[in-house]
Chains A and B, each alone.
Chain A
Amino acid sequence: MNTYKKILGYALTLPLLFVVGSCGQGGGNGGALGSGNAERVYVAPGEHDEFYGFISGGFSGQLAVYGLPSGRLFKVIPVFSVDAEKAYGFSEETKPMLETSFGTIPWDDSHHPDLSQTNGEIDGRWCFINANNTPRIARISLSTFETEEIIELPNSAGNHSSSFVTENTEYIVAGTRFSVPIPQRDMPIDEYKGNFKGAISFIEVDQETGRFDLSFQVIMPGFDYDLAHPGRGASHGWMFFTTYNTEEANTLMEVNASQNDKDFIAAINWKKAEELIANGDFETMATEYAHNVYDESTQMATSTIKKEVRTLDASKYPGLVYLLPTPKSPHGCDVDPSGEYIIGSGKLSASLTAHSFTKMIDAIENEKFDGDAYGIPILNYDDIVAGVVQQAGLGPLHTEFDGRGNAYTTFFISSEVVKWKLETWEVLDRAPTYYSVGHLMIPGGNSRKPWGKYLVALNKITKDRYLPTGPELAQSAQLYDISGDKMQLLSDFPTVGEPHYAAGAPADLIKPNQVKLYKLEENNHPHAVKNEKDTRVERNGREVHIYMTTIRSHFAPDNIEGIKVGDKVYFHVTNLEQDYDVPHGISMIGANTSELLIMPGQTETFVWEPKKEGVWPFYCTDFCSALHQEMQGYVRVSARNSNVPLKWSLDGE
């Protein structure tokens, strides 16, 4: 009865919060200029931002790079969706990146970027991100800002509790949201309970190359695995996952998966898992998943189908997994910088639960269990809880940290960020968001070393914040200054797709490692031509290969004859420039693929299948010099039965 009253109380205060919120939009009485907020986000022309922000594109499937505090958009890195502008998924080199065991998937839903770490601190090497829909994890190089690798995850479905990086980037950990039959099979849906399982994948990362290897999967009970974070410091070696639907319902989930007062945070001891693997205590399961790698040397991606995966059944191996009761349908699962506190945000509760890692270990060592679920020990809530942030707001979702002993939690239903203190569990401050905030991000805020200057709120709903653009509105992020006692809203900025989650790092960690161009000497693309002398056109049956070069501002060759209707023409184009920021583009009239955008020293390929006789032009699409408009050429296309010989030239040679 009490609970109902509380909920009713919140429901009544909710409209009030919105009203109060909408009055304070500028963040101060004098508006942004009067308060000095404008200066605090202003980055003068030619100056650089202090931080990089990597903000996921949600349903766009991409990853966008912003500067903070300015909120300026620098690049949209294509990851899980095709991008015709950059030829990603269209060029012959990048097509394999989107291969899966289901075939080519041109789109996905990217949720949680995370940055590589060394000793629990962000190190600026790679960014990882998950594909939610067709389960995959990608690795993006932070020296080229290109997607270098994508691995598919078998047995997983709705790859949501992903991608999270362990303290030394030993593993990228990725948990399934949906439990499914493992291995997949044709069976009645209502036999879910006890038969469906959840797979948690551990992808090993090569420290030199970053290359992935799906090392093993822990097969868990048929719950939904929602979010995760790794242990750090003392809790390094453990991985924590929130669960919901511990009811194991398979229909009308919004009611049937919300019955239990408490669900679990699953604590997986991955050091123990490594021992089991090393001892050969695992089962090898036949399966199928794609592993796609972009090779910097050949500048080509390859896709390989792998056929088996090592699995560890959590029910069979004592000591591998423990369940920590946590109210109620916990969503965010966040570990403080010290690694001692594991914060569960019960999204259907009003309070936050902080479990103590020390108490958890103590309970395990003393075998203080309260039953089990499918053989996995359940700990006593009272034995492990360190503190509760009481009645902090409505709909708690996610928490990050500032490194000064404070935590910041988003509340979706009450649209606010609440600042509270670790260990005293008292609320210190609250700031409205516009509107319905999901994740939040403090650069390094999910590592051992946060840079606690700015906080970015990543909102689900925009409503009236920007000029309206029809029914579909810009997605919104908001920047807060958290360097003082009180959070201050500095600015709003629109994002590409839903800004689901984000990661941030000081610019100084990433800027010095930038690749400025690809050295021609190191270009081992099988179709590269490194000087104009070697440019040529070769016919092999109906296949024609054009080996072309670009430099300011011409193509070699730029006159090509002897192409026939029905040919499949490959343009292999090498950019001979060896200077910073001199890409060239190429587009061909009627090409059903895309343009290319070729960086200095790089080779890329697109296919053109001419359908009509005639003389057809191509041109450079990336403004390259004062003579860019002259950078053009012609291809003569003749009838299938014509005798026009194959020839090519530049300036008659």
Chain B
Amino acid sequence: MKDLTKISNTIILLALSIFLLSCGGGDGKSAADRIKEQAQMEPADPYENWESNNGIGPIKELALPAEIDQNMVTSGQEVYENKCTACHKAEKKFIGPSPKGIFERRTAAWVMNMILNPEEMVQKDPMAKKLLIEYNGSPMANQNLTEDEARAVVEYFRTL
């Protein structure tokens, strides 16, 4: 009986919050419609579409040239070791995921946006949102890298 009360309370709260949410809309759609729509937009497995997802941030598109730039690798490794290794390790899943083989799972642009714009990414990007949950809510720290530094880190990741 108690549980039932709890459940009904939850439903009331849920309904209330949907109602409150719908106040912020203004596009004429009902809240339920919008939730449905969003559910359709976000596939159950957001990682499936990784090849077409460049993330959200300053990098719209990044095609990696065939040849790896060794100078960039050297500087990228230095940046990575100083700014990233507290949470990322090549040989294991640590606070965050390993960057090894990253471009078999993510586009280069997505990786750069995750480095450069992590706050917005974990709020809006379906893959970043899911990763945040998978990694226990541990935030991707914004280490304030420049675009050039992030690009060099990408080059270094290609060598892992």
Contacts and interface: CB of A to CB of B under 8 A. Distances in A.
Contacts of B138: 552-553, 625-627
A622 to B, nearest CB: 15
Interface stretch (B27-35, B56-64, B82-90, B106-114): B82-90
A556 B86 contact: yes
Interface stretch (A92-100, A164-172, A528-536): A528-536
B142 A579 contact: yes
B95 A554 contact: yes
Nearest to B94: A651
B123 interface: no
B151 to A, nearest CB: 17
B148 to A, nearest CB: 14
Contact of B83 (A517, A553, A578, A582): A578
A579 B83 CA distance: 11
Interface string B127-160: 0000000001111011110000000000000000
B86 A532 contact: yes
Range, interface on chain B: 10 to 19
B82 A531 contact: yes
A553 B86 CA distance: 10
Contacts, number: 51
Given A531-B86, A532-B86, A651-B94, A577 B81 contact: no
A651 B87 CA distance: 12
Nearest to B144: A578
Interface residues of A, number: 21
Contact of A530 (B82, B94, B142): B82
Contacts of B94: 651
Interface in A581-633: 582, 625-627
A549 interface: yes
A533 B144 CA distance: 20
A273 interface: no
A551 B141 contact: yes
A625 B87 contact: no
B137 A533 contact: no
Nearest to A576: B86
Contacts of B81: 531, 533
A533 B137 CA distance: 25
Contacts of B144: 517, 578-579
Given A552-B87, A582-B141, 19 more contacts: A517-B144, A520-B82, A531-B81, A531-B82, A531-B83, A531-B86, A533-B85, A551-B86, A551-B95, A552-B139, A556-B86, A576-B86, A578-B83, A579-B143, A626-B136, A626-B137, A626-B138, A626-B139, A627-B137
11 contacts: A520-B82, A530-B82, A531-B81, A531-B86, A532-B86, A551-B87, A552-B138, A582-B141, A627-B136, A627-B137, A651-B94
Interface of B: 81-83, 85-87, 94-95, 136-139, 141-144
Q: Which 9 A/B pairs are nearest by Cβ-Cβ distance?
A: A626-B137, A551-B86, A578-B143, A579-B142, A578-B144, A531-B82, A532-B86, A576-B86, A627-B138
